[in-house]
A and B are shown apart, each in its own frame.
Chain A
């Protein structure tokens, strides 16, 4: 149980384009999902907390207009990187927390490369 998927697993795009990443909880309902960013050899940095049916809460320094988050259902959250630039290249990971657990279960991550 507690399986989280992400799609795509990797994406290469041109500078200025937008990229959407999907995060799904496959066998449980996730009232809260989280989006992280990870640079090579570094820890996970929380970008935002996504609650089903409400606006996401962004961490300090994360541009909400650049990283659009939508959590339309209890099993799906999406992160859209708008007008991507090379500095947005990173490993993006989502996690999901169920209604009865403090534990977060992570997706496999999405490698974004912006040319």
Chain B
């Protein structure tokens, strides 16, 4: 079977550049999406969320884009800093379900000074 997670997707950027992390979600019934940042040895930290009635939402230095047609979610980080280095997970929630989140595989972002 597939070795899920043994080869975590990676993204390496230079400090100051913009980063784009992509995620394909699985369920067309999902109506709420969250991006989390996880540093080594720590729990996931909430970054930004978006509901299915929106296609874009902006936060501080971060933007989430949602394309429901192709079930694609992206996280854009502006002016990436070394402190942004972490693993980023997208998560989807299905309305009317048990409120549980389904997590993507994660992308490891490395910011080079």
Per the 8 Å Cβ criterion, residues 1-25 of A in contact with B are 2, 4, 6
- Is A54 part of the contact surface with B, judged by Cβ < 8 Å? no
CB distance from B64 to the nearest CB of A (A): 13
Query: Is there contact, CB below 8 Å, between A44 and B46?
Result: no
Per the 8 Å Cβ criterion, residues 95-115 of A in contact with B are 95, 97, 102-109, 111
Query: Is there contact, CB below 8 Å, between B100 and A106?
Result: no
Per the 8 Å Cβ criterion, residues 20-56 of B in contact with A are 32, 34, 36, 41-46, 49
Query: Is there contact, CB below 8 Å, between A34 and B100?
Result: yes
* Contact-residue size bin, chain A (C-beta under 8 Å from the other chain): 20 to 34
Query: Is there contact, CB below 8 Å, between A106 and B45?
Result: yes
Query: Is there contact, CB below 8 Å, between A49 and B44?
Result: no
Query: Is there contact, CB below 8 Å, between B99 and A97?
Result: yes
* Residue ranges of A at the interface with B (Cβ–Cβ < 8 Å): 2, 4, 6, 32, 34, 39, 41-46, 49, 57, 93, 95, 97, 102-109, 111
Given A46-B100, A107-B43, 13 more A-B residue pairs with CB atoms under 8 Å apart are A34-B100, A41-B8, A42-B4, A43-B89, A43-B105, A44-B89, A49-B98, A95-B44, A104-B91, A106-B43, A109-B41, A109-B42, A109-B43
